[in-house]
């Protein structure tokens, strides 16, 4: 099986095109050598993949016939990635700011909905039909 198709089948990349592009960018190697998308692979091959600034290593246990369900992937590959790489990934995720600081930039959809709920809630409680008449009568005088 071609290496680009294999990486797509075991769900390492979302599309086969992305898989082929990553191989062209020399982010995938077999035996320390970069490969082309057309490289045929066999069982027992160890593949090194650079993805999200992490160096993954996988060993091929079986070659699938088509794209696999996520639960079946461990039957076809063995993850040999060092634990240090996963620790780096965890630290990187912890340092990222997932939420913007309040008061910076435009409000998100959730912020807008919260504001709309707040405004609608206040206006229905405080202003009734009689209050509107009083409000406008004071302005005209």
Q: pLDDT tens, 26-38?
A: 999 998 899 998 9
DSSP state of 21: H
More confident residue, 113 or 104: 113
More confident residue, 12 or 93: 12
Specify the pTM.
0.63
Cβ 67 vs Cβ 8: under 8 Å: yes
Angstrom distance (rounded) from CA 116 to CA 101: 20
> What is the DSSP pairing of strand 77-79 with strand 54-60?
antiparallel
DSSP state of 38: T
Least confident interval from 6-15, 51-60, 114-123: 114-123
User: Which pair of structure tokens corresponds to residue 123?
Assistant: 């206006």
More confident residue, 134 or 58: 58
User: Which pLDDT tens digit goes with each residue over 55-112?
Assistant: 999 999 999 988 989 899 899 999 898 989 889 888 887 776 555 566 677 778 888 8
Kindly list the domain boundaries of the chain, sorted by start residue.
3-95
Q: For domain 3-95, which CATH number applies: 3.40.50.300, 3.10.290.10, 3.40.50.2000, 3.40.50.1980?
A: 3.10.290.10
Angstrom distance (rounded) from CA 103 to CA 48: 44
Q: Which of 54, 52, 50 is nearest to 85 (CA)?
A: 54
Cβ 2 vs Cβ 39: under 8 Å: yes
- What is the SS3 assignment for 123? helix
pLDDT score for 60? 92
pLDDT score for 36? 92
pLDDT score for 88? 86
């Amino acid at each position: 099986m071609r290496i680009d198709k294999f990486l797509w089948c075991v769900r390492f990349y979302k599309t086969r095109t992305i898989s082929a592009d990553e191989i062209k960018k020399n982010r995938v190697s077999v035996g320390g050598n970069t490969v082309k998308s057309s490289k045929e692979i066999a069982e027992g091959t160890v593949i090194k993949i650079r993805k999200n600034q992490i160096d993954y290593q996988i060993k091929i246990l079986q070659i699938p016939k088509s794209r696999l369900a996520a639960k079946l992937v461990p039957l076809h590959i063995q993850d040999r990635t060092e634990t240090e790489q996963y620790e780096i990934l965890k630290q990187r995720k912890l340092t990222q700011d997932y939420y913007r600081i309040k008061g910076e930039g435009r409000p998100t959809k959730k912020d807008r909905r919260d504001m709309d709920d707040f405004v609608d809630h206040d206006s229905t409680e405080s202003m009734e039909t009689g209050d509107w008449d009083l409000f406008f009568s004071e302005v005209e005088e």
